[in-house]
Amino acid sequence: MNGDQNLHDLADQFQALDPSMVMNPYEHMGDPQEMGYENSGGMDPFYPASQAFAREPLQYHLYTSPRPETLQNQYFIADDLREELQKRSEAVYTAPPPGLNLPDETQGYHSLMPLEVTVGERRKFGSWYSTVYKAVNSTDGFPYALRRIENFRLNTQAAFSGVETWARIKHPNVVGVKEAFTTRAFNDNSLVVVYDYHPNSETLFEAYIKPKAPQFQNGRLQAQHNRISERTLWTYIIQIASAIKAVHEMGLAVRVIDVTKVIVTGQNRCRVSSCGIVDILMFEARHDIAMLQQEDLAMFGKLIVSLCCSSLTVMNNLPKAVETAGRHYSAEVKNILMYLLTKPHKNIRHLFELMKGQMLLELDDSLKAVDCLESNLMSELENGRLVRLLCKFGFIDERPEFARDLRWSETGDRYIIKLFRDYVFHQVDEHGRPILNLSHVLTSLNKLDAGVEERIMLVSRDEQSCLVVSYREIKSCIDSAFRELTTGAAR
């Protein structure tokens, strides 16, 4: 199907969706090249090349061109991204259910909410039980993740000496460490290490290994297999290796590299959590850092094997596990595994040498992801601008009194603003039914914000007065009314 055919199909759908809407917002659009855009390759096929277009002067808040109804959703960020961000926002604001018997506050953190189930069978963190909570810091108001080690008695404050060094590690694949303290607020001796909070994250174990409930497929209950794809596996390998490199270069060792201690914080984004905590727990057992770093790499190998085989028990028979991994993944993956699990003297820099080819792919993918996010951000930039404009309307329209004038918002410049508000939001069709046309609203507000010379007819509700004004004039009315309000507020 060619471009014209597409266009016709779209136009048909457009008519079918809303017969009362006959305006085509593309009608007066010109060639993007003529508009001064250097690269028109990525622009819509909806811009016919033949018609002339009077370009508006370039402004920093230049608006995007209006789109047809059927593409309305493209005014906003992509649905899956919005859903993901909304889930995160919801996670930040979720309050704990009542009756958890948690302290109201500990060391300046309040609103504690467990991020994991604390009843039933629990795994241990070394020799201790641990629980992760979300809590809000009273000083900066931000949420943090508190990892609490239950029933831990600290023998010396010196055990906290490494926390400062950990807090200096700012790396995209390491969950940031903020501080550590002991507390009796949970009615025991607890150690708490405070980390950056990454809402709605799950561990690699939860994402790829934990058995999923069977689901109905083709009318039958079927087990869910979530074997990780080779590309995603490499993404995680490179990110975790990068985290390990950052930690080793600070003269530290991660000391816990495990599928339950690496969290997935976004699409294919992972971060090593729980850094620094083992240094406190095992402070008194002196260790050679070079040896601990070797152990980090061996643990990393085991993590990759469990991901490849979607199982934790495979670690009981590593040679068999490596063989299984080799059957499902490339020789390159097997090569890395052999290096990490069998080489007596390994080194994180050498590991990167072995992964050179994959790193280029990773770089390409992450640049693509940045491009995609940037284009989503652009649409939100436009929307943010429109929200500010709507706020101005809200401040001005229907204001009951200003400067002792009960009719301030109905008279002078404000009368035009009121009529424009009706033009944008309160139009009705020939049968008196409300027209709820988001495209019209966005187009009108964008033109207003850019102050274009295009003229529109504003009609009063009783149809007794009728004004023809340009968007530029309406914009200047709004600016002066809003200025009056700001000077009035400052008085």
Residues at the annotated binding site for ATP? 147, 196-203, 260-261
3 state SS of 263: strand
- Does residue 270 interact with ligand ATP by CB under 6 A? no
Q: With CB under 6 A, what is the number of residues at the site for ligand ATP?
A: 21
Strands 177-183 and 190-196: antiparallel
Task: With residue 394 as reference, give the H or E element that holds it.
Answer: helix 356-396
Residue (210 or 334) nearer to ligand ATP, CB: 210
Residue from 65, 106, 130, 409 touching ligand ATP (CB under 6 A): that is: 130
Q: Measured from the CB of residue 265, what is the shortest distance to ligand ATP in angstroms?
A: 7
| String marking each residue 378-417 x if it binds ligand ATP according to CB under 6 A | ----------------------------------------
Q: Measured from the CB of residue 397, what is the shortest distance to ligand ATP in angstroms?
A: 43
Report how far residue 142's alpha carbon sits from residue 301's, in angstroms, rounded to the nearest whole number.
35
Nearest to 100 by CA among 136, 151, 142, 134: 134
- Which of the ranges 154-162, 189-197, 317-325, 370-378 carries the binding residues for ligand ATP, by CB under 6 A? 189-197
3 state SS of 402: strand
- Which of the ranges 122-130, 308-316, 366-374, 390-398 carries the binding residues for ligand ATP, by CB under 6 A? 122-130
DSSP character string of 153-164: ----GGGGGGHH
3 state SS of 326: helix
Report how far residue 71's alpha carbon sits from residue 46's, in angstroms, rounded to the nearest whole number.
11
3 state SS of 336: helix
- Does residue 125 interact with ligand ATP by CB under 6 A? yes
Q: Measured from the CB of residue 215, what is the shortest distance to ligand ATP in angstroms?
A: 21
DSSP character string of 124-193: -BTTB-EEEEEEEETTT--EEEEEEETT-----GGGGGGHHHHHT---TTBPPEEEEEEE-TTSS-EEEE
Q: How far from 418 is each of 91, 394, 460, CA to CA, in Å?
A: 40, 11, 9
Report how far residue 172's alpha carbon sits from residue 242's, in angstroms, rounded to the nearest whole number.
9
- Which of the ranges 198-206, 299-307, 356-364, 465-473 carries the binding residues for ligand ATP, by CB under 6 A? 198-206
Q: Which of residues 144-163 bind ligand ATP (CB under 6 A)?
A: 145
- Does residue 255 interact with ligand ATP by CB under 6 A? no
Residue where the block lists tokens 């049968």: 431
- Does residue 192 interact with ligand ATP by CB under 6 A? no
Report how far residue 276's alpha carbon sits from residue 294's, in angstroms, rounded to the nearest whole number.
17
Q: Measured from the CB of residue 134, what is the shortest distance to ligand ATP in angstroms?
A: 7
- Which of the ranges 24-32, 200-208, 298-306, 365-373 carries the binding residues for ligand ATP, by CB under 6 A? 200-208
How many beta carbons lie within 10 A of that of residue 169, not counting itself? Answer: 18
Q: List the structure tokens of 413.
A: 């410049």
Q: Which of residues 202-231 bind ligand ATP (CB under 6 A)?
A: 202-203, 205-206
3 state SS of 102: coil
Q: List the structure tokens of 486.
A: 């700001």
Q: Measured from the CB of residue 247, what is the shortest distance to ligand ATP in angstroms?
A: 16
Q: Measured from the CB of residue 114, what is the shortest distance to ligand ATP in angstroms?
A: 8
- Does residue 173 interact with ligand ATP by CB under 6 A? no
3 state SS of 187: coil
Task: With residue 293 as reference, give the H or E element that holds it.
Answer: helix 289-309
Q: Measured from the CB of residue 113, what is the shortest distance to ligand ATP in angstroms?
A: 11
Q: Measured from the CB of residue 141, what is the shortest distance to ligand ATP in angstroms?
A: 17
- Does residue 137 interact with ligand ATP by CB under 6 A? no
Residue (205 or 420) nearer to ligand ATP, CB: 205
Residue (213 or 489) nearer to ligand ATP, CB: 213
- Which of the ranges 193-201, 288-296, 408-416, 426-434 carries the binding residues for ligand ATP, by CB under 6 A? 193-201
Q: List the structure tokens of 112.
A: 């504690």
Residues that bind ligand ATP (CB under 6 A): 115-116, 123, 125, 130, 132, 145, 175, 195-198, 201-203, 205-206, 260-261, 263, 273
